[in-house]
Amino acid sequence: VFRMRGIFDLLSPSGRALFHLGMTGGFAWAAGQWWTLCTATFLHGSFLHILFNMLIMRMFMPGVVDLFGVPRAFIIYMAAGAGGFLISNVITNAPTIGASGAIFGLLGALISYGRRTGESHVTSQLWIYAILLFVMSFMMSTGVNNWAHAGGFVSGWAAASMMPTGNR
150 and 85 in contact (C-beta within 8 Å)? Answer: no
For 28-58, write each residue's pLDDT tens digit. 888 899 999 999 999 998 888 899 899 999 9
Question: What radius of gyration do the chain's Cα atoms show?
Answer: 16
Task: State the DSSP H helix or E strand holding residue 2, giving kind and residue range, or none if neither.
Answer: strand 2-3
For 59-87, write each residue's pLDDT tens digit. 999 999 999 999 999 999 999 999 999 99
Q: What is the pLDDT of residue 137?
A: 83
Query: Which distant-in-sequence residues (6+ apart) come within 8 Å of 91 by Cβ?
Result: 147
Instruction: Kindly list the distances between the CA atom of residue 24 and the CA atoms of 57, 101, 146, in Å, as whole numbers in the listed order.
Output: 21, 13, 15
pTM of the model: 0.88
How far is the C-alpha of 129 from the C-alpha of 147, rounded, in Å? Answer: 18
